[in-house]
Amino acid sequence: MSAFAVVINPRAPGEAEGVVLRMLDAIPQRCVDGRRTLTGSQFAMGYGLRATARRQLGEVQPGHAPSLGLSAVGTLRIDNREELARELGAGSEPPGSDLEIVLRGYERWGTGLADRLEGDFAFVVWDEHRRNAYAAIDPFAVKPLYYHVGPPGALLASDVAAILASGWVDLAVDDTAVLAYLDRTLDFDGATFFRSVRRLRAGHFLAINESGIEARRYAVPPASELRLAHPDDYYDEFRRLAKRAVAARLDTDRPILAHVSGGLDSS
């Protein structure tokens, strides 16, 4: 998996890029295919690439849309990209990458963007005009997002080690979280093993502005039951969805390794 690191609203903007690079230095295994940074007056973003497909070697992250006043970075696999591209490209050139879908989707739907995405994702959008940031994670938290808010500014990253390496956070251990983990009672409501670092909960987004930071839930399971005409139709529908999900995750032209934990005959 690739990686990203973001600094929002630092007291000393000139130091933000250095902090981002220090964060990426802490996770070199995520940056084997290169890294890139983007800076502005109130933010700095960095992206470390670990490509699983050759086409990813040509992707440009972080991304910037000057006409929209938006910048974004993230680890993304948008499964309904064709549907969204058609909708966002109506009357104009359709977006060509997952990150472009995020940029143009945020311009169209604002904080309602995440609810329209299918796939595994964690991303951060900086809105220059509104002076706020929007960060979101997929409904199952397959792509993680960690964050910290303190006097120097807000830090967001795809790996907790990157947050810790920033030099801006207290490294004090959260004894309660460690004990709950060992006791198997930790409910992963956003706690990490460090008091000053939080993990964004599955199906949530963050709104960050001058007033502070707020986490909100956007992903809600459907209230109605799926009703099909015949019992066999449920098997067919499950098979269709399973094939679609597996096909989306095999979008690679590099070798894939799978670990069968208990042996091929264990189940």
Give the pLDDT mean for 75-94: 82
How far apart (Å, rounded) are the C-alpha atoms in residues 229 and 232?
9
Give mean pLDDT, residues 39-68.
87
pLDDT of residue 184: 81
Q: What is the mean pLDDT of residues 165-177?
A: 92
Average pLDDT over residues 82-89: 86
- Write down the pLDDT at residue 99: 93
**Cα–Cα distance, 70 to 124 (Å, whole number):** 10
**Res. 83: pLDDT tops 70:** yes
Q: How far apart (Å, rounded) are the C-alpha atoms in residues 233 and 42?
A: 53
Q: Please state, rounded to an integer, the average pLDDT across all residues of the chain.
A: 88
Find the helix or strand (DSSP H, E) in which 248 lies. Answer: helix 231-249
Least confident of 108-112, 113-117, 258-262: 258-262
**What is the per-residue pLDDT for 183?**
86
Spatial separation of the C-alpha atoms in residues 15 and 64, rounded to whole Å: 20
Residue 25 token pair: 């230095």
Q: Which residue has the tokens 């000057």?
A: 66
Among 195, 217, 199, 198, CA closest to 207: 217
Angle, vertex CA 35, rays to CA 29 and CA 38, nearest 5: 140
Mean pLDDT of the 154-177 span: 94
Lowest model confidence (mean pLDDT) among 33-42, 90-99, 112-121, 188-197:
90-99
Burial class (CB in 10 A: 0-12, 13-18, 19+), 71: buried
Q: What pLDDT, in 10s, does the model give residues 215-238?
A: 999 999 888 888 889 989 999 999
Res 93 pLDDT > 70: no
Question: Which pLDDT band holds residue 266 (cuts at 50, 70, 90)?
Answer: low
Query: Residue with structure tokens 């879908």?
Result: 101
Mean pLDDT value across residues 75-82: 89
pLDDT in tens, 237-265: 999 988 888 887 776 666 777 776 666 66
What is the model's pLDDT at position 188? 65
Residue 77 has phi, psi (to 5 degrees) of: -145, 90
Q: Is residue 142 over pLDDT 60?
A: yes
If pLDDT is split at 50, 70 and 90, which confidence band does 104 have? very high
Q: Measure the N-to-C terminal CA separation of the chain; round to a whole number of Å.
A: 29
